[in-house]
Chain A
Amino acid sequence: MTQDAWLTAEVAGPKKASLITKPEIADAMIRRAKRPVFIVGSIAAEIDLEEKKLIDYVIAMAKRCKIQVVATGNTNNEFLKRGFTPDAVMPAVDIGNRLTDHTWQGVDGKGPHDLAIFAGLPYQMAWTILSGLKNFAPNLKTISLDNVYQPNASWSFSNISIKTWIMNLEAILGNREG
């Protein structure tokens, strides 16, 4: 199955993300990861998913699956408003850069991360950072949880509707069947 980049011109190279065709895929990846990290951008608090925002799903997932969270941009504010304290606050390119360093011991200093989950960054910023990771972080898997195709991730949703997106996120959380 193929998919085009959400912004039509952002065509990737020969190596493209596999599609998350059902929520079990993302769920399995997250469960299998030993040291996952969430990278959450400013748009996460803007995107309406019916009554919730994307950031609410992130918080629920981070809690349930014990994923460390890096807030980029000014997302920290939004987390704190919801009573959730991220593990780190840093620019998206800074965390991206550190993830390419296999000696970096991760946000909590306990060892390198093996999975980075991206959500809520501006599309092209996520695109370019994921490209950096695709090329320079061979030991790291990446997932894009946005509802648009991110060709440089290891795994990404295709360009899906808000409704399908909610269904997938709920299913990953185990709240609903996929």
Chain B
Amino acid sequence: MGTKEINISIKEIETEIGNIKDLRFSVGRLAQETWDEPQGPTPFPSMTALRNWDLTLLNRYKPFYLPFCDLCCLCTFGKCDLTGDKKGACGITMPGQQSRIVLLAACIGAATHTSHARELVTHLIEEFGSDTRLDPGGLNIKVEAPITRLVCGMKPETLGDLETVLDYSEQQITSLLACTHTGQEGNPLDLESKVLHTGMIDHLSMEVADIAQVSAYDLPKADPNAPLVDIGFGSVDTTKPVILVIGHNVPPSVEIMDYMQDNELTGDIEVTGICCTGIDMTRYSPKAKIIGPISWQIRYIRSGIPDIIVVDEQCIRTDVLDEARVLKIPVIATSGKNCLGLTDRTGDPPDEIIDDLVSGTIDGALILDPEKVGVVAVKTAMEIAPRRKKDKKGIFLSHEEAIELAKQCTQCRECRRACPNDMHISDAIKAFSREDPAMLAEIYDSCVGCIRCESACSEEIPIHSLIVAAGEDTLRNEAFRLRAGRGAIQDIEIRQVGGPIVLGEIPGIVAFVGCANYPKGGNELAEMAIEFANRRFITCTSGCAAMTIGMYKNEDGKSPYEIYPGNFEAGAIVNVGSCVSNAHISGAAVKIASIFARRNLRGNYAEIADYVYNRVGAVGVAWGAMSQKAASIAAGFWRLGIPVIVGPHGTKYRRMLLGRADHDEDWYVEDARTNEKVYVGPVPEHLFISVETKEEAMVMIAKLSMRPNDTSRGRALKLTHYIDLHRRLLGSMPTDIHRFVRMEADIPITMKEDIVAILQEKDWKETVIPDPTLIPKKEVVQ
């Protein structure tokens, strides 16, 4: 590992500012005198340090490539046609190229989280000091940064310590990215191993970002009872000035809320957020409101409700300025990573910037100082709101206006051919033009707000606005309650559920995470979460998925967060927070190994991943995964042996990691008690799989929650869920039950007759339940 520790000690030095005596400082890794856990074999692992573990996983879950493009155009040798067994001018093959692109995507994702974390930590150190203690959970958390302990073998205690972790992440990502250069790594499995390394780094950086913000901003500290906050378009009081923040990096929003608080304006202005900034704002102040996931950007901006838009970073529409300009809504860009072409006004006095924004002299401004953003955004919103009153209706169309526009449609169907969800837009528009809005209103429910349809329309019909006009009642009634992101999982919660999870008596942990590129709207996701909470899985969520689950009501008008508890326990729905809070979900799996099983975490990645893989029935579901960050988050779960399911759009990530249930030889583990090889069946059967429908996803979740270590009681419970869901949703008994029954005691009593018949037909033989490991003893470094 390349992280250097440089200790400098200067007895006396003459400088321009005077004579300095006894100066000591160190750069790099910190001494860990306060932590007596022995250092494991791989602290700060290099790109290749965990290669054996990766190849063990990849040997079971071989890539199935789904080339999304048959060409490579990454260098000027190209374009090269890689179809079939052709090679590029550099010698690369199609499998190599697909893995290379996956690595590229994962690097983009991990770089984004790492850069986010770096900016956050730098800002927080400037504001609160490098010695600020990390405190993600008060007295309830002793293992405060499980991923950092596991990967780096260090125990961070202050904000300053996190810089060392980020130094390491940045080094690794630079090297990983370098592997994608022409004529560099071309072996598909080596590239895949690097994808897994990138994923691990991603979770490390996410953990840094979230524990830094939780500690410094005093966000809910592992609090299962974090407050319920408002979410949805209809929860905004449009009579007040409205600020909209979009993005992921929360300091500018915090400064907005602080300025309001300091000037006693909190009740006078609505602060609203889209995407993860929205989530993190409500963790800081429950008075902030979330509008919805990223797909709500266009409809909310076009409503004209926001009086000012502040953007930070990630997943922001790049045409936000164009959309805002139409309604004379000023935009403030706050991140060097997303300047929007605006003039840098960071150095100007706030009042000058405000004057320019209010008068409309400028469309927007780049302000790279969060504190200044706070003043400018609040004052501008207050001054501009009264003038914008008449624009508040925005470009929302009345039914009559919308119908008139619909009449211009020539039925060319180009809109449908541009729609990622292949929705029947032209048919719906035809019906709408005949005053039947039902079909178009239905499209509202599944529309991801990409406005590709509008770009395609030669008649320049504002199709998305028509859809919103048809769905206006739904939109205006969107007012729900969401439990603010709680952050990490407490040690005591882990202690309580560790045993039941590892023995299989809690059927699983299912994490609904990721973006909002849903194939058929968000309700499907909420329905899945409810189903699994009812089945007493520990149901976790974060980011856009957490919002989507909240934007759902039962017959009594209650959202899932008002019904299910927020504790990390069976039958709960646990919102950990924003995208970067995903690290608490992987962290919880790691903490089970440490707190419940007392395995050493420190720098001991492979052993802990082997533990999690064989014992912790966790499954990730990224139903609307869209981004490169989702790719790197998934990869971080894979390296820990946690399978991930994506929706039908997920095949566009270009490769799956699939097991072959029919290859018996793939499913042997070593029994740590006897050193014998034992067949354990395909558990979990896949590491990364895209499924087609909600029903198929639910069956897959139940199936992938099985682990070799399940006790018979646990396995019987898991099989009950799998078989029950398969019967109910797919219509029949699964035909692979014999692969999951190890002994008669595994058979769910209520289904005994049916299952015994299947076992007889399949010539089933009893086996044993081992103490499972994939790492042969000789490889475990003591």
Contacts and interface: CB of A to CB of B under 8 A. Distances in A.
A149 B568 CA distance: 48
Contacts of A121: 692
Contact of B64 (A9, A41, A74, A132): A132
A13 B83 contact: yes
A3 interface: no
B414 interface: yes
A73 B700 contact: no
B376 to A, nearest CB: 39
A172 interface: no
A153 interface: no
Q: For chain A, which range describes its interface: under 10, 10 to 19, 20 to 34, or 35 or more residues?
A: 35 or more
A121 B422 CA distance: 12
A131 B422 contact: no
Interface in B22-76: 64-71
Contacts of B67: 13, 128, 131-132, 135
A41 B692 CA distance: 8
B652 A124 contact: yes
A77 B70 contact: no
B739 to A, nearest CB: 13
Interface in B273-292: none
Interface stretch (B458-466, B498-506, B523-531, B730-738): B730-738
A122 B649 CA distance: 9
Nearest to A126: B651
Interface stretch (A28-36, A58-66, A85-93): A85-93
B601 interface: no
Contact of A131 (B70, B662, B729, B735): B70
B692 A73 contact: yes
Contact of B69 (A13, A77, A92, A123): A13
A156 B69 CA distance: 19
Contact of B730 (A13, A77, A135): A77
Residue in A80, A122, A128 whose Cβ sees the most chain B Cβ within 10 Å:
A128
A42 B692 contact: yes
Contacts of B456: 8
B451 to A, nearest CB: 14
Interface stretch (A19-27, A94-102, A110-118): A94-102
B414 to A, nearest CB: 7
A67 B20 CA distance: 87
A135 B71 CA distance: 12
Interface residues of B, number: 45
A112 to B, nearest CB: 13
A73 B690 CA distance: 10
Nearest to B731: A77
Nearest to B690: A93
Residue in B414, B420, B700, B731 whose Cβ sees the most chain A Cβ within 10 Å:
B731
B141 interface: no
B693 A125 contact: no
A135 B689 contact: no
A91 B692 CA distance: 7
Interface in B290-340: none
B417 interface: yes
Nearest to B729: A74
B70 A93 contact: no
Contact of B418 (A9, A124, A136): A9
Given A12-B70, A125-B690, A136-B65, A97 B658 contact: yes
B695 interface: yes
Nearest to A15: B83
A73 B651 contact: no
Nearest to B419: A7
Given A42-B692, A125-B651, A8 B418 contact: yes
B693 A74 contact: yes
Nearest to B734: A89
B763 to A, nearest CB: 13
Nearest to B695: A74
Contact of B691 (A14, A85, A91, A100): A91
Interface string B672-705: 0000000000000010011111011000100000
Nearest to B728: A77
B645 to A, nearest CB: 10
Interface in A31-50: 41-42
A7 B730 contact: no
B648 interface: yes
Given A74-B695, A74-B729, A128 B71 contact: no
B84 interface: yes
Interface in A62-85: 72-74, 76-77, 79-81, 85
A135 B700 CA distance: 27
B730 A89 contact: yes
A94 B689 contact: yes
Given A77-B731, A80-B732, A122 B64 contact: no
A9 B696 CA distance: 27
Interface string A118-155: 00011111001101101110100000000000000000
Contacts of A81: 731
Nearest to A71: B730
B417 A97 contact: no
A91 B65 contact: no
A121 B700 CA distance: 18
Contact of B70 (A13, A41, A72, A101): A13
B96 to A, nearest CB: 12
Contacts of B692: 41-42, 72-74, 91-92, 121-122, 125
Given A91-B700, A93-B656, A73 B731 contact: no
A125 B287 CA distance: 42
A58 to B, nearest CB: 16
A80 B729 CA distance: 12
B70 A14 contact: yes
B94 A135 contact: yes
A128 B70 contact: no
Given A8-B417, A125-B648, A73 B66 contact: no
A57 interface: no
Contact of B417 (A6, A88, A131, A136): A6
Contact of A89 (B419, B691, B732): B732
Nearest to B649: A124
Contacts of B419: 7
A101 B661 CA distance: 14
B466 to A, nearest CB: 20
Nearest to A5: B417
A129 B68 CA distance: 10
A6 B456 CA distance: 14
Contact of B651 (A12, A42, A128): A128
Residue in A8, A81, A85, A132 whose Cβ sees the most chain B Cβ within 10 Å:
A132
Interface string B648-667: 11011010101010100000
B372 to A, nearest CB: 41
Contacts of B651: 93, 124-125, 128-129
Contacts of B391: none
B81 interface: yes
Residue in A13, A91, A94, A124 whose Cβ sees the most chain B Cβ within 10 Å:
A91
B254 to A, nearest CB: 39
A131 B67 CA distance: 6
Contacts of A8: 414, 417-418, 456
Contacts of A74: 692-693, 695-696, 729-731
10 contacts: A7-B419, A14-B81, A91-B692, A93-B690, A97-B658, A121-B692, A122-B692, A124-B648, A125-B690, A128-B652
Given A97-B64, A100-B64, 4 more contacts: A13-B69, A72-B696, A124-B651, A125-B651
Interface of B: 64-71, 81, 83-85, 94, 414, 417-420, 422, 456, 519, 648-649, 651-652, 654, 656, 658, 660, 662, 686, 689-693, 695-696, 700, 729-732, 734-735
Interface of A: 6-9, 12-15, 41-42, 72-74, 76-77, 79-81, 85, 88-89, 91-94, 96-98, 100-101, 104, 121-125, 128-129, 131-132, 134-136, 138
- The 4 lowest CB-CB distance pairs between A and B, nearest first, are A13-B70, A73-B692, A77-B731, A74-B695
